[in-house]
Amino acid sequence: MESLRLKTNYRCVPALQQFYTGGPFVVSSDNSFIACACGESIKIVDSVTAALRSTLDADSESVTALALSPDNRLLFSSSHSRQIRVWDLSTFKCVRSWKGHDGPVMCMTCHPSGGLLATGGADRKVLVWDVDGGYCTHYFKGHGGVVSCVMFHPDPEKQLLFSGSDDGGDNATVRVWDVSKTKKKNCIATLDNHRSAVTSLAISEDGWTLLSSGRDKVVTLWDLHDYSNKKTVITNEAVEAVCVIGSSSPFASSLHSYKQDAKKRSGSKAFYFITVGERGIVRIWNSKGAGSIFEQKTSDVTASIDDDDGSRRGFTSAVMLPSDQGLLCVTADQQFLVYSLECTDELLQLNLTKRLVGYNEEIVDMKFLGDDEKFLALATNLEQVRIYDTASMSCSYVLSGHTEIVLCLDTCVSTSGKTLIVTGSKDNSVRLWDSESANCIGVGIGHMGAVGAIAFSKRKRDFFVSGSSDHTLKVWSMDGLSDNMTVPFNLKAKAVVAAHDKDINSVAVAPNDSLVCSGSQDRTACVWRLPDLVSVVVFKGHKRGIWSVEFSPVDQCVVTASGDKTVRIWAISDGSCLKTFEGHTSSVLRALFVSRGTQIVSCGADGLVKLWTVKTNECVATYDHHEDKVWALAVGKKTEMLATGGGDAVVNLWFDSTASDKEEAFRKEEEGVLKGQELENAVSDADYSKAIQIAFELRRPHRLFELFSELCSRKREAEEHLDRALKGLGDEELRILFNYVREWNTKPKLCYVSQFVLFRVFSVFPPTHIVEIKGIGEVLEGLIPYSQRHFGRIDRLVRSTFLLDFILSGMSVIEPEAQPTESKTKLLLQSDIHIPDTENDIEERDDSPEITASKKRKSKRSRHGSHKKVKNVAFNRVESIPLQA
């Protein structure tokens, strides 16, 4: 058997993040990305994988309108603050902003040329702006209510702008505006046919038919030659979006091959359009016919109830994707559905090719599907269970059947090889699903409260256990399960027991299927013998409710996680607490065994994920990658990959990086040894510039200081070597060097080297370049006070030397600088005029002692007048010492 290696670290990969919370969105012209409103920010996501590219933080108000320039270079946005912003998508920075409306901007669109931006607001105005200048070019008034949609004519030669509004009461209008500078009359026509808010506008491919849809359950076709009503199509549902199908799109090709429509399209200039609305179905219409030529049979959306007016909301918007990539529909529960149309056996079939989920709300439970861990099942605050592909994290399919929120789920692979999913819901029922067909194959009814905990058997896989808020524990049999089932069969409960005094939060089945453990809000965990649910032992000791229970895969013990911020391990034999793990700052919501039962992974309401070692009670690692409670934790059986999710609607995948971290540490150590030897070789060769660069790479500030101090002692060579080394540094390395210099500058013993390096840096690099380095301002602020202190100390020392010179001069120990010159001149003169006369020489010798003695007596009286004479002491003559120039 392979030796067991404990895990020391996990690498987190944010797999699923929220990117759309409802509201405006816009698709790029090449379908490479989607810009979505996500609360107060704008998310730029990949249209294929929904991977987050960038986040644009505008202001503290919700985003109300978005638009893209035709070349996808500029993004326009507005929020409830009425600020219109222009974003450069190459740098993801706001390049321009202005205000113009008296109320929130509800819609906006960009002219096909990219030079004009039209905005419609809640102030009943339609304004046209110059994109480059940011000034208003046209000011249109006339709508009687909120402007809900605006659109330029797709032909740049036709300077027309269309706007739709909700004028209140039973009236809604579409207005046509002339944006050319030659026309004086701006409003060309007022199209009045709708009785409720106009939600969408579209132009036919030939450019002469305008389509308008509204919540009055009609679509109106307008002739742009005379602005007359060509046709009114009754849809019998509130229409949220209308889209025209291009003649060259795959949708049109499938429709042309549809034999029932062949006669209708012959000899006519008909075109097709699509409508979506509150029913959550896609319908296709012909402009010449009265009824729809295709209607989706079953909806892929769970139509929600709007809290404002009580109406059903299925689809909220739709758009035909560019490059013939299908139809994109947006649902009220923040899903992006991409459809393709096929004609098979003379029948039209609409296929769902992609599902991107913008917002999962609160994730309450999750499990990996199968042993290969390719799929992940999520239970959120919805009636559906969403199945995600772990490679791309796109939603592969959903399981629909529950009538209330799904609270828990579990997965297993049956003895026949099928991957099964069991779910418990707030509708008091349990459901069994086949993951391959995404069909419900079994329904269990019997609980009197919400089912909050569920678990499959581990060994036989022929039953599962559920726990409910009705305080009961039920064992459900799967004996009636067959391979080919089309209708769900009724699951039967084999055993029932009133297990606890409060809600049951978690259940777990032992690896050998002999025991089941339940954890409850009554602060106890109970172990029951299967299949008759006879009580074995009760674990008492937690001070708050128990949120999670799990059996050890190797030992006779159970791990529990509680609201008292602790994780405990209990012995099944006597119910004693074996170990207690403390470290979470809030309730611990999940705890699972990993590494064959030698380690525990826990997560809690504090947003932390912790890795514990059972033997030492030590917390090996703590991870903070969630912004809210972490409700869900799943462990893969094969690779022990982790998945966590919680209240922040984020799913994180965790991969064991222990082995890779060790390899990386060994590689870095090996590189460090080689680089260290290279550094020593450079120093021995006196190649200081190379040595400094290597010391930077190795991040060795002490060795770097030694190199700089050695260069300071060699003043002639120092500047050349140091300048050459500094020129090879980048901005990040310069910032690190300034950090090192700041530390050296705080110590008086090292300040000389730091000031020398600073002088050379400012000599090589201009100050304008240095101040542009990111984060350099804080470092320079730390350098200034210490540098001022060092220069102040040097000034005081210089002043002290002047005082010393004055004292020594006063003591006649040193003479002024002029005296040596005069004495030398006298000596030269005496040497030049000296005549060897014996008599004069004798007379001078005789006179000199008297003069010297008199001077000496005067000096002794003045200097040592208070001192007594000491006998038998020989006094030598002291002469002044000339100060050499």
Angle, alpha carbons 453-459-460 (nearest 5°): 95
Task: Produce one character per residue of 741-775: b if its CB has 16 or more CB atoms within 10 Å, e if not.
Answer: bbebbeeeebbebbbbbbebbeebbeeeebeebee
Whether cis (ω within 30° of 0) applies to the bond prior to 816 is: no
User: What confidence score (pLDDT) does residue 3 get?
Assistant: 61
Task: Identify the H or E element spanning 801.
Answer: helix 776-810
Q: State the amino acid at position 803 in one-letter form.
A: L
- Give the bridge partners for 424, in sequence order: 408, 430
Quick check: 128 and 160 in contact, CB under 8 A?
A: no
3-state secondary structure of 13: strand
The pair phi, psi for residue 865, each rounded to 5°, is: -65, -30
The pair phi, psi for residue 587, each rounded to 5°, is: -55, 135
Rounded Cα gap, residues 75 and 91, in angstroms:
12
Q: Sign (positive/negative) of CA torsion 426, 429, 430, 432?
A: negative
Rounded Cα gap, residues 303 and 238, in angstroms:
13
**Which residues of 460-514 form beta strands (DSSP E)?**
463-468, 472-477, 489-490, 492-498, 504-509
Residue ranges, the chain, pLDDT below 50 = 1, 259, 261-268, 307, 309-310, 819-885
Say if strands 577-582 and 566-571 run parallel, antiparallel, or are unpaired.
antiparallel
Quick check: 527 and 570 in contact, CB under 8 A?
A: no
User: What confidence score (pLDDT) does residue 303 get?
Assistant: 52
User: What confidence score (pLDDT) does residue 707 get?
Assistant: 83
- Three-state SS letters, 808-833: HHHCCCCCCCHHHHHHHHHHHHHHHH
User: What confidence score (pLDDT) does residue 571 get?
Assistant: 96
3-state secondary structure of 806: helix
Read off the pTM.
Answer: 0.74
Both tokens assigned to 434: 């086949």
Nearest to 752 by CA among 722, 780, 794, 719: 794
Q: Which residues contact 475 (CB under 8 A, 6 or more apart)?
A: 463, 464, 465, 493, 494, 495, 496, 516, 530, 531, 533
| Maximal CA-CA distance, the chain | 157
Nearest to 153 by CA among 226, 229, 208, 223: 208
Nearest to 686 by CA among 668, 660, 659, 713: 713
User: What confidence score (pLDDT) does residue 827 get?
Assistant: 40
User: What confidence score (pLDDT) does residue 823 get?
Assistant: 47
User: What confidence score (pLDDT) does residue 665 get?
Assistant: 85
DSSP conformation letters of 102-147: SS-EEEEEE-TTSSEEEEEETTSEEEEEETTT--EEEEEE--SSEE
Q: State the amino acid at position 724 in one-letter form.
A: R
Q: pLDDT, tens digit, for every residue of 730-780? A: 788 888 888 888 888 888 888 888 888 888 888 888 888 888 888 888 888
User: What confidence score (pLDDT) does residue 717 get?
Assistant: 65
Angle separating helix axes 701-713 and 715-727, nearest 10 degrees = 140
Rounded Cα gap, residues 127 and 150, in angstroms:
10
